[in-house]
Amino acid sequence: MTDEDQQSPLANPIGADAAPLEVECLVRPDLSPVSQRRIDAIYSRLQTLEETMFVEDVTINEWPPHRPAPVEEEADREFREARVAELEQWADEHGCSLKPAFRRQPIPGSLLDAEESREAVRVPVVTLALSTADDKELSGVVPYTVDYGTEDAETYTVDDWLSAAEAATVPEGAQELVVETAPESV
């Protein structure tokens, strides 16, 4: 997003029409201390939103660790691939993309044994999966990109969504304070 866009949050955060929301914060397990502090700040902001009518419940889960094929657990790989497929389906249905935050890349097979090549899914440091509190239906995924692959592509980050959600839940006169104190993007 441009600096101008960062000044004013999205008018309607994705998933807002399904509020109250259940927010699952999916984080990679291989976080640096700096990334961990950013995740802690995001979680703090989510907990504040949990005190509003906008968010009913917040959970933090780790993506299964991404490891080379001989070491990776089959269940971990299957879970990651199935969950990413679910999130990608939401994006397809809503005319947006999870790229570039989510990446699929080919992993060549081993030259030393009969291992076949496969595709690996690289997930972002943090992902928000938003579901309706009533029926648990997926109603949003952040980060996401609109018009991916064009000059007009615009990616909305977790911080963008949090700022929009905070602005949507704060009394009108105090919205400027929320925008001014929002930390930089993840």
Mean pLDDT of the chain: 81
- pTM of whole model > 0.75? yes
| Strand pairing category for 126-132 and 138-142 | antiparallel
> What is the rounded CA–CA span in Å between residue 64 and residue 149?
29
Q: Where are the domains of the chain?
A: 3-181
pLDDT tens-digit readout, 30-49 = 889 999 999 999 999 999 99
Of the CA atoms within 13 Å of residue 137, those in its CB half-sphere come to 8
What confidence score (pLDDT) does residue 155 get? 93
* Top-ranked range on mean pLDDT: pick from 15-24, 66-75, 101-110, 150-159: 150-159
What confidence score (pLDDT) does residue 34 get? 93
pLDDT tens-digit readout, 131-151 = 998 888 999 999 999 999 899
> What is the rounded CA–CA span in Å between residue 95 and residue 101?
16
64-82 mean pLDDT: 76
At 7, is the pLDDT very low, low, confident or very high (cuts 50, 70, 90)? very low
Confidence check: pLDDT of 27 > 90? yes
H/E stretch holding 41 = helix 33-50
Q: What six digits make up the tokens of 67?
A: 């490891």
Q: Which residues in 44-69 are b (16+ Cβ under 10 Å) and which e? A: ebbebbbeeebbbebeeeebbebeee
Q: What six digits make up the tokens of 181?
A: 């104190």
At 175, is the pLDDT very low, low, confident or very high (cuts 50, 70, 90)? very low
107-121 mean pLDDT: 67
> Count of CB atoms within 10 A of residue 152's CB?
8
Phi, psi of 121, deg, nearest 5? -110, 125
3-state helix, strand, coil in the chain (%, to 5): 35, 25, 40
111-123 mean pLDDT: 71
